[in-house]
Amino acid sequence: MKVCFATNNPHKIKEMGAILGPSFLLTGLADIGCAEELPETQSTLEGNALQKAQYVFDHYQVACFADDSGLEVEALNGEPGVDSAHYAGKQRNAEDNMNLLLQKLSGLPNRKAQFRTIIALVEPTGVMLFEGSVQGEILMEKRGIGGFGYDPIFQPEGYTRSFAEMSMEEKNEVSHRARAVKKLVDYLQQTYSR
């Protein structure tokens, strides 16, 4: 089966190709001739993931999946959520984003948060959504240098280290993204593998 991953990140495509195995022909956007920036104008993770996958399906007639992720903080009514990448401004700077979040949370006792990923798959037969999440808390200060984004201030439930203090393998055992990818892969393999 031919399926497109709506990303320009070759690392993501390679990783996903290895998980899916040889019965799938996995392509990226460049492989199908899609050079334009995909629309991502919705107010939810679900909306954005679906918008990107649907755009590729409609314009390139190929089954496609797309992802969107964000950090949701309970005491801030789900902020930064869909705005995670540019929470502190259009410079999209992780340090600025974390500093703003720590400042908004200062004095608030509830530091519960979750990372959430949505993957939308659009095929000729219809649309499927796959969700992965990981619960945890926002630390009082940054810890660790691994990972990216909000990893230094997020500690998953059941652990005493932040995501940025874990190896990539450890993070992948519990991460929102890994959990959503597993659901997608299970579905594709059950539905299309011979």
Helix axes 10-20, 176-192, angle to 10 degrees: 50
Could you tell me how many residues make up the chain? 194
List the one residue from 132, 136, 147, 156 that touches ligand ITT (CB under 6 A): 147
Residue 171 or 188 with smaller CB distance to ligand ITT: 171
Q: What are phi and psi of 126, to 5 degrees?
A: 140, -160
Nearest 10 degrees: Cα torsion 90, 102, 146, 173: -100
List the one residue from 3, 149, 162, 181 that touches ligand ITT (CB under 6 A): 149
Residue 28 or 147 with smaller CB distance to ligand ITT: 147
The one catalytic residue among 68, 83, 96, 151: 68
CB of 190 to ligand ITT, least distance (A): 25
Residue 24 or 70 with smaller CB distance to ligand ITT: 70
Rounded Cα distance between 133 and 174, Å, is 9
Closest CA to 153 of 113, 182, 185: 113
Residue 19 touching ligand ITT (CB under 6 A): no
* Residue ranges in contact with ligand ITT by CB under 6 A: 7, 9, 68-71, 84-85, 115, 147-151, 163, 175, 177
